[in-house]
Amino acid sequence: MKMAAIRAMLGLVLVLAGAARLMAAESAPVSSPRAVATLVSDTDAVKAGVPFRVGLRLRIAPGWHTYWRNPGDAGIAPELAWTLPQGAVASEPVWPAPTRHAEGPLMTFGYTGELLLPVTVTGAPAPTALRLHASWLVCEKICVPEEGDFALDLPAGTPAPSAQAPLFAAADARAPRPSPWPVTISADGRLVVQAAGLAEVQDAWFLPYAAGVLDVSAPQPFSADAAGLMLTLPTARDFRPGAALSGVLLLRDKGGQASALAIDALPAPPSAALPWWQALGFALLGGLILNLMPCVFPVLAIKAAGVARMRAASPRLAGAYTAGVVATFAALGVALLAARAAGSAAGWGFQFQSPAFVAAMAWLLFAVGLSMSGVFHVGASLAGAGHGLATRPGALGSFCTGMLAVLVATPCTAPFMGAAIAAALTAPPAMTLAVFVAMGLGMAAPYAVVAAVPAIAGRLPRPGRWMVILQQGMAFPMYAAAVWLVWVMSQQAGSAGVLAVGAGMVVIGFGGWALGLAQHHHLHGGGRRVAHTVAFAAALAVLAILSGIATAPPAAVASEAGVERYSPARLAALRNAGKPVFVNMTAAWCVTCLVNERVALAPEAVRDAFAHYGVTYLKGDWTRQDPDVSAFLRSHAREGVPLYVLYPAGDGAARVLPQILTEGLMLDALKQAGG
């Protein structure tokens, strides 16, 4: 009797153990000193046709590790071979974000501790029988291949979370989340994530799904700022320029918080990277063409007055003007490098994104106009301030004329300049400055040739009274330029900004009148002191107004019929839907942009073509700093506006249009994009 009771007790224990394993939804283990493997389910029961999840669970001994789907320089990823009931299908496993393991000179990607590789089973009957043959590699100082066969039978019933369901929740938390931002990969391996808010990234690493496309043991230099993040990936033999690239981007911020993004990087447009000699040539040619751009027209007044005096002038004036242009270009190059080193997404014309700078330029051009009109003139002690550019015949006046010409010209981007500037800002600092100096030499070249060649100077009219009249007449382009800058201020800071700039002009006008009164009427003693005091008080008032403008809030962006505001999400949604898109990156201070919009984008025939071919018009405003616009410019290897990109219907490659548009060019481009 005792033996029978013992046997009955053992049978009951075995039955209870089997029932417990069944209710626990976990298979019998396959064990070794290095790992314990089981097959687990997130539910205790299944209902026919209702999806559920199962997965291979590995509990790895301390000091050992296994591998990710791309193991890196060495290793083998786990392999799962399912045997399922007829009609049932298992998805690909969801791979948690791995960690990097340096093994001597090699780099591998894998897992330590506990790992679950979940799959989703659909179309299974109830009850259902699952069979899995799995193999995996575990390594420490040596590597040992392991394998096992697993069986899990799930009864029919109402699905309910099993005791192992938290394992699946933990695996989901470790899985990379899809990137919410657009990502591009250039032909030379630059991975660009267009996103604001990544400036705090301390470490970044991209792990490709496919082996052989990257040298995974090589460094991946990266930069992060308010516009996004860029990694320079070390490409390998299987990397295909112009093809998409998928993988996981591992990020860690300054606080140590880690995150992982699933990345599907689309091919970026061809890079504007140039050989150094070609970048210098483009810079020289772009600077020469810059003389013909609309931005430089106001300064032509000063140039005309200067050229008119050059019949008897020496090449010394040309040298001074050239030095002023080149020195200002070099200073802009240094400022751009400093701004980008500080984390700002600065580009060509970046200073016009500051309302304070726009106000100062408006006042300067207004003061120059007053001086050219004869309201006052600036003595030698103040010539360097820039207000007496047109009235000073000497080398200092020519130098300052060159400085002003460059400052006023920066809202324009001439052909060839975009590629040269983009190449400059990705090159070493010395090359960057060389490109900016070349642009300065190109811009100064026509004036220098006129001054340096006596035969040309000898054909100029003789000096006379007409020069005074010409100088006074040339003041009106300066006033017009000042009015344009007031309009730019209205786009940046609204009506309050316009009021502040207008008040500053009144103060400058009053101070100039007082100064001119003392100069023209030869006041002495107390009268001259009063006039100078008034002029000094006016300068202080202008500085006070300027300090208020510097903190002016951004103006609201006005809506435009048929035009949507650019955002990366909107562009991605339209592209995913296969719709044609025209992207216009512009700014209120960019005269070339405004001319293009009036001449090529505003005509009724062009607007009708947008509607007829179903092309969505997205407009990005860079009047004040916008990280999304900065990221878009950088992804197309541009450092300034305008930039026009046309995406055709379907999934065709984007087309970058010229910086100078015409109505006919736009009509042809829209027709091609609309299919």
CA 312-298-307 angle, to 5 degrees, is 10
Cβ proximity of 41 and 53 under 8 Å:
yes
Cβ proximity of 585 and 639 under 8 Å:
no
Task: Please tell me the predicted confidence (pLDDT) of residue 384.
Answer: 33
CA distance 332 to 335: 5
CATH no. of 180-267? 2.60.40
Comparing 375 with 464, which gets the higher pLDDT? 375
Task: Please tell me the predicted confidence (pLDDT) of residue 553.
Answer: 55
Q: Is the pLDDT of residue 272 over 50?
A: no
Domains 2-175 and 180-267 share a fold: yes
Strands 190-194 and 183-185, bridge-based pairing: antiparallel
Task: Please tell me the predicted confidence (pLDDT) of residue 418.
Answer: 61
Mind giving me the DSSP string for 132-157? Answer: EEEEEEEESSSEEEEEEEEEEEE-BS
- Which range has highest mean pLDDT (115-124, 189-198, 224-233)? 115-124
Q: Helices in 410-464 by DSSP H: which ranges?
A: 417-425, 429-452, 454-458
Q: Which of 84-88, 407-411, 465-469, 550-554 has the lowest mean pLDDT?
A: 550-554
Q: Is the pLDDT of residue 380 over 50?
A: no
CA distance 212 to 429: 33
Domain ranges of the chain: 2-175, 180-267, 276-549, 564-673
Q: Is the pLDDT of residue 232 over 60?
A: yes
Q: In this predicted model, what pLDDT tens digit does every residue of 285-340 receive, in sequence order?
A: 877 877 776 566 556 555 555 555 555 455 666 677 788 888 888 888 787 777 65
CA 404-408-413 angle, to 5 degrees, is 135
CA distance 144 to 128: 33
CATH superfamily of 2-175: Thiol:disulfide interchange protein DsbD, N-terminal domain (2.60.40.1250)
CA distance 658 to 643: 8
Q: How many CB atoms are closer than 10 A to CB 641? A: 28
CA distance 345 to 627: 7
Q: Is the pLDDT of residue 205 over 80?
A: yes
Q: In this predicted model, what pLDDT tens digit does every residue of 6-58 receive, in sequence order?
A: 444 434 433 434 444 444 589 999 999 999 999 999 999 999 989 999 999 99
Q: Is the pLDDT of residue 256 over 90?
A: no
* The CATH number, out of the four listed (3.40.50.300, 1.10.10.10, 3.40.30.10, 3.40.47.10), of the domain defined by the range 564-673: 3.40.30.10
Task: Please tell me the predicted confidence (pLDDT) of residue 316.
Answer: 67
Task: Please tell me the predicted confidence (pLDDT) of residue 81.
Answer: 95
Q: Is the pLDDT of residue 608 over 80?
A: yes
